[in-house]
A and B are shown apart, each in its own frame.
Chain A
Amino acid sequence: MVILLPLAGAMACFLWPQRGVQLGLVSALGVVACVAVLGWQVVEQGAQRYAVGGWGAPLGIDLYADGLSLLMLMVTAVVGLGISVYSSGYFNRDKARDFWPLWMFLWAALNALFLSADIFNLYVTLELLGLAAVALVALAGGADALTGAMRYLLVSLLGSLFFLLSVALLYHSFGSVDIAILAERVEPSPAVWAALGLMSAGLLLKTALFPLHFWLPPAHASAPAPVSALLSALVVKASFYILLRLWLEIFPLANAALAQLLGLLGAAAVLWGGIQALRQTRLKMLIAYSTVAQLGYLFLAFPLASIIGWTGALYMLLSHAAAKTAMFMAAGNILRFGGHDRIADLDRVVQRLPLTVTAFGLAGVSIMGLPPSGGFIAKWLLLEAAIRSGQWWWGIILILGGLLSATWVFKVIGYAFTQSGTPHESRAVPVSMEWAALAMALVAILLGLFASWPLVLMEIGLPFGGEVAG
């Protein structure tokens, strides 16, 4: 139901392009409602497992929902709703005709991905996701966007290919693609090593972990604003989700050195992304590099490997999704309003878009990890995990990353207060776009004030249960 509704929406939008906006919004609301129902169910009854078509594992397609996937669904729903509202004002009629079906399609893929219980399913949804995303990037038109899209397509296909290879290897070895069954059967052998190596590498590429991040900034920066928001907030997170799932369930045999390696790459990403973000002269490029840095944070949880660490990383994911969406939306508004996003010339624009700047600022607070915001809670948890496990150096990376992002956020915000010269001609920005950005930023802030509820949610079905024993 969660999957089918956006799919149906996509079809509907495709069939009746004139009514795309209304249909899209209606189905977005529908999905949110469905997720809410599912959430209620999970909270009441614990983790859920459905066998689609009544076949059941190991042969059929299983859907599985625990706290982790529920949370991902929810964040997708919230961000998706925001993006839908935003897009309703953003695209003109032509673009809208293409956008809405693709976007609904992507949403369906995402939901399916988060609910999948076997790795082949994961592959399929991942592939669907990638294709939809590439199409969306290309939507902007123009040489930049096309290059970006092509590069993205290439990367996406490569990553999926590696993933598929490893799925085949695993299926060959153990005769199943169901995660739970695999977790029971898996045992060290060269085939498994190769499979896991391939799989991880593919996913890392898709998650854009440093130094495999190079494709991300151009793709994200050249896409239309809602699409950039979508990519940054949700699409890259999907592959991280897969990695996390596999890591927690199938990889318990992975050793500490590997975890440290991932952490190291994460740390490098935090610093590299931060520094590169500072060097950018274009707002959207800057935000895109900040995504690279923020993704690095997620990987810091691997060496920490404690419940607090995982929770922190997940919380980072949530708040980053909301905050980054808000940021890209704000950037979109600015771009729409002033016709450019050169940081040095921002002052004339931002002063006349107070709501947008507020949204940017609030999102920035979360990205920097200053209280009160989701980013702060996440940072607190990660820091606590780092110190508790005696690996304080990760904590220092966290703090440094925060300082770097503070620097660039305020570099932008500072222009909101300078006295502007002559204002140049501008295009009006629809109210819905401004408020959507602000609402997303508020979500990021509220995540910091009401942290206990999502944290409880994460515990459902004990996704990190294995760690307690280990």
Chain B
Amino acid sequence: MGAFYYDSGIRAVNATLSTFLLLSVPGLPLLLAFPALRSRLYWPCYIALLPALILLTVPMGVSIELPWLLLGSGLGIDGVGRLLLAMSVLLWTAAVTLLHTAKGKTVDDRLTTFFLLTLAGNLGVILATELVGFFAFSALMGYGFYALLVAGGDERTRRAARVYLVFLILADLALFEALLIAAATTEDLGFEAVRQAMAQSPSSTLYLSMVLAGFAAKAGVWPLHFWLPLAFGSSRPAMTLLLGAVPVAIALLGVVRWLPLGETSLPALGLIIQGMGVVAMLYAILAGVERAQLKMLPAYATIFATGLFVTTLGTGLNDPAVWSRQGNLAYFFIVSLGFGVAVLVVTIGWLQARYHYPAKPEKKADDSSPWFERWPSAVMRWAAQMGVGILPRLRAAWRAKVGRLRQVRAWQRILDGCERSLQRWTFAITLFLLLASVITFVMAFVGVSS
């Protein structure tokens, strides 16, 4: 009996502890994002990473249910999650260090806030155990990262950030649709449950394409990659270091977590996806060679790697068995991608600092965007045309019509005249009207009785 009480007591303590710990992993960075709360702290960014570090030391998998949060949420960590978390902690630590050394001791306060927000989103995504939580944290991460790019960057990075933002919004829309489809299929939005439900669902192809499109835009997979080279071209090493780990790796993680891989077989779609992956790799190689700029190398490497990933994905969709056997490798791939990009960036940065490569004159194609990059602005232009051009014209037509109606006043003036003349010859008119009405009445009464 005593043992039982002891046991349950331990369990209660354990539960409280893990709840606290798991919540604080994204929660502490969020709190510290308020300038007022961190103003007295040294190294707030490192402190924000502490809970995650502690969580890494907990040897077992923990998870909690948070039914009151959002539409019923949860946080947890398992083996692969741990791996990713470790990578994130490492890279973020590196980035923080770079951030601090880059600007000396005085780091821009606002930048720190965005930094912490992005961090919270990133850690939260890794811990999320269901779709909505994942979606929410990845939104936080995405917008935070956008702010990070804009706030810390030069004009070039800002352009990258703007393109990134457009993709981010489109991606979120696609993912939202996918989420709705999933929610319409199953009550439980845990990853495992969704995977199983979607495998049998008739709308799985739609779901699959939405998820793929969404995350592809987030990860910068070819052909939705425009912002990646731009972003890598930016001068802030702390940001470029994170590019691989934050948007790209997490998006790939999303693909693995959301899709019913290894359960459904969609040969046709698989083939297309495979083909796209191969093209992406080819493109990366070609473009990388074409624009042989050392700084750009990580960008094309990333595009190549994601292309590779997509090819594998296509294979997995073609033949689910392959994925079920080797699927776990995907996580390792993601982790190594994150690291790889970081290492590349650091190496190149070091090389550049060391040898000071003469900057080649940039090719024109680099700055002027290709046609398919121009469509958002085209849409905006079209909408502007609608708003500024066509609507006013319609309104002008309407005004003209109203103007014609105004001429009604002409006959209103006639009415006024009537009223005035009524009042002028009072006596005559009175008599006349009276007689007229008498006659009418009499006629009416006669009409009744006849």
Interface positions of A (Cβ within 8 A of B): 151, 154-155, 158, 162, 188, 190, 192-194, 196-198, 200-202, 204-205, 211-212, 214-215, 218, 253-255, 257-258, 261, 272, 275-276, 279
Contacts and interface: CB of A to CB of B under 8 A. Distances in A.
A197 B426 CA distance: 21
B5 interface: no
Given A151-B426, A261-B440, 11 more contacts: A158-B431, A192-B445, A193-B449, A196-B441, A201-B438, A211-B433, A215-B423, A215-B430, A255-B447, A255-B448, A279-B412
Contacts of A212: 430, 433-434, 437
B412 A204 contact: no
A198 B439 CA distance: 9
A130 to B, nearest CB: 14
Contacts of A202: 434
Contact of B427 (A154, A192, A211): A154
A154 B442 contact: no
B435 to A, nearest CB: 8
A350 to B, nearest CB: 27
B422 A214 contact: yes
B423 to A, nearest CB: 5
A158 B426 CA distance: 12
Nearest to B436: A201
B187 interface: no
A254 B440 contact: no
B439 A197 contact: yes
Secondary structure call for the A interface: helix
Given A154-B430, A158-B430, A212-B433, A279 B416 contact: yes
Given A193-B442, A196-B441, A158 B423 contact: no
B402 interface: no
B442 A197 contact: yes
16 contacts: A158-B430, A162-B434, A197-B442, A197-B445, A198-B441, A200-B441, A201-B438, A202-B434, A204-B437, A205-B433, A212-B433, A215-B423, A253-B445, A253-B449, A275-B415, A279-B416
B445 A188 contact: yes
Nearest to B440: A261
B429 interface: yes
Contacts of B446: 190, 193
Contacts of B416: 276, 279
Contacts of A194: 438, 442
B366 interface: no
Contacts of B429: 214
B155 interface: no
B423 A218 contact: yes
Given A214-B419, A276-B419, A188 B434 contact: no
Highest count of chain B CB atoms <10 Å: which of A188, A193, A253, A261: A193
Given A155-B430, A162-B434, A197-B438, A211 B445 contact: no
Nearest to A257: B444
Contacts of A214: 419, 422-423, 426, 429
Interface in B396-446: 412, 415-416, 419, 422-423, 426-427, 429-431, 433-434, 437-442, 444-446
B434 A158 contact: yes
A253 B450 CA distance: 12
A307 to B, nearest CB: 22
Contacts of B433: 205, 211-212
Contacts of A215: 423, 426, 430
Contacts of B447: 255, 257
Per CB-CB distance, the 5 closest pairs between chain A and chain B, nearest first, are A197-B441, A188-B449, A193-B445, A197-B442, A201-B437
Contacts of B438: 162, 194, 197-198, 201
Contact of A200 (B422, B437, B449): B437
Nearest to A150: B426
